[in-house]
Structure formats: C-alpha cells, structure tokens
Amino acid sequence: MKRSPLHISHTTIWVSAVTLGLLSSVPQLASHKFNVAEAAVNAGITAAFAVLMWYFNIYMLSRKKDTRRIQSISYTKLLSSLSFGLVVMFGLAWVQQLILSHINFGPTMLMVEVRGILINLVFYMFLNLLQQNYENQHVSMELDRIKSDNLAAQYELLKQQINPHFLFNSLNTLKAMVETGDKEAVDFILKLSNFYRFTLESRKLDLIHVHEEMEIMNAYLFLQKARFEEGLKFTSTLTERTLKTLIPPFTLQLLIENCIKHNVVSLSRPLYITIYEDGEYIIVENVLQVKKGDVSSTGVGLKNIGLRYSHLLDKNIEITNDDKNFKVKLPLIYEHHNH
C-alpha cells in the first residue's frame, strides 16, 4: 500500500502557533508588573517554537514506516521529537535572554523548556492520532476494493463455468453418442454431472489442492475429447509434490478452455496442450495454431486468474507468447503460505 505524506494546512499551523503565542502571554496580563515587551517576546518565541515543531513532527511522522511494527506509537520518533524540541527551546530561550537581558535566565529557561515539552507532546500525539485514523481508513478502503474485485472475478468465473455454449455443445455431443450407441455415453453423462457438481462445490472456496483441480480439468477434458476425439492431445507431468500445493479453483480448466477456444482443433491439426512444472511454477503451454478470423479475445479469463492471484495471494501470473507457443506460468502456492 502506498504511503501518502501527512498533510496539515499551512493556515492551521500558523493560526494555532499564533494562538498559542498569545495564550502564553495571558499570565503576564494578569500580573501587576505587566511589560508589553516581555509579553511580545514571550508570545513570539512560543509561536516560533510551535511552528517549528509542527513542521518537524509532520516530517518525522511522514517518513517511511517500518511495516513490522505492531505498536501505534513510534517511541523512537517521539524521543527524537522531544530531543529536537528541547534543543530548539534552549536556543529560543537564549535568544529571549539576549533580548531581555534583565530576566533571570535560570527560572526562565526551566519554564520555557517545560512549556516546550507540553506543546511538543500535544502536537505529536495529535498528529499521530490523525495519521493512524487516516491509515485505518485507507486500509479499510483498500480491503473493500479488493473484496469488490474478488467478487467481480468470482462472478465472471461463474459465468464462464456455466457457459451456455459449452453446455449446448456437450448436449449435442451426448445426443450424437446416444444415437450411435456409443458405449461411453454413460461415462459422458457422469463426467458432465461431475463437472457441474465441482462447479457448485468449488465456487465458494478461495483455494483447492492441485489434485482436486486436476479432477475438475480431467472431467472437462473428457467432455471435450468426446467432441474432438484425437484432435485434442493433452499431457501432464505434475509431480506428487506439486499436486499437494494449492490453486484457485477452475484455474487450469479456464486455461484449457482458452486454448480450445482460440486455436484450431481437428484430426488433421491436433492441438497439443501440456501442463508441467518448472521451479516454483505450474506452466500451461499449447502450440499456437490460431483460428482464422478469430475474434480478438477480451482476455477476461486471464484477467480473472490474474486478479485472484494478485488480490487474494499477492502473487502474479506470467504470460509469454513467442508466436509458436503460448505459456501461462502460475506460482506454486503452499499450504503454510496460505495460512
């Protein structure tokens, strides 16, 4: 999350500083030996100190914060602010002594330093509270945005999963199988029902195991192979270690669907799709044989997957296209990372 600098209007700073300067002279107004020069110098020094500490505390609190800290107040910054304030107030008290040489420096110095500490503490605590409130609001807005994006991605995913064209093609394939007495018609019906059962069961989950995702994808591939027969060639070399990792549901199925949707799939030009692992990635790769006159893709499916990896897991997918092969690299998600 990008950190914005703390902002206080210059008008607020100067008006409050002048007000504090005037208030610091109120006790002298009640004194029997009121001296205009002393009151003016005292007010000026207090106002000058207030202005300096306003800007110094704003600078301190606007500096990059250590995200590992769990406390709301940075005591290091507080001590730095108090130390700086003591030095500044000592200097201003010395200036006051030069202007009003008849005043006893010792008691004056003590009074000025105590006043400076109190002013500094009030400024620091006010700015710290203001900053915490701003950051809490910013985090809340960011969480709402992420939830909104995630819901939009899930909605788009659900629409793709129950794609009417896929259902229409599947039913046409089933009709042809039944009419020709194909022995795999029963298996086709079971796979079709399993696929939609997986859809209903998994849509509420953020992550599932890769071996569960492979079951969904295998059911989908069975349905597609019944339609394309040997025109669709699929290979998976995922190891047992990778199958135990996690993945957003229907990620692999959507990638396979995109391969079939945008490429020629026929007995004369089989479409080769491979899923394998490389380091800390699962890679889905297909040979490019783009359909002629294919309408340009909106990329909704890939955006959907990218959104879920980015917002849910703070990870990014990688897409490469060298005009011969199309690859999508999915970062491995381990169970302990998710927790």
Whether the predicted pLDDT of 254 surpasses 50: yes
**More reliable by pLDDT, 19 or 69:** 19
**More reliable by pLDDT, 197 or 154:** 197
Distance between CA atoms of residues 281 and 138, nearest Å: 33
For the chain, which residues make up each domain, given as ranges? 10-159, 164-331
* Tokens at 73, concatenated: 């107040």
Confidence at 141, pLDDT banded by 50, 70, 90? confident
Confidence at 273, pLDDT banded by 50, 70, 90? very high
Q: What is the DSSP letter of 177?
A: H
* Tokens at 276, concatenated: 């394998």
Amino acid at 15: V
pTM above 0.85, yes or no: no
- 47-51, 213-217, 279-283: which is most confident: 279-283
Q: What is the pLDDT of residue 287?
A: 92
Q: What is the pLDDT of residue 118?
A: 78
CATH of domain 164-331: 3.30.565.10
Confidence at 308, pLDDT banded by 50, 70, 90? confident
C-beta atoms surrounding 74 within 10 Å: 18
**More reliable by pLDDT, 269 or 119:** 269
Confidence at 1, pLDDT banded by 50, 70, 90? very low
Confidence at 329, pLDDT banded by 50, 70, 90? very high
Whether the predicted pLDDT of 266 surpasses 60: yes
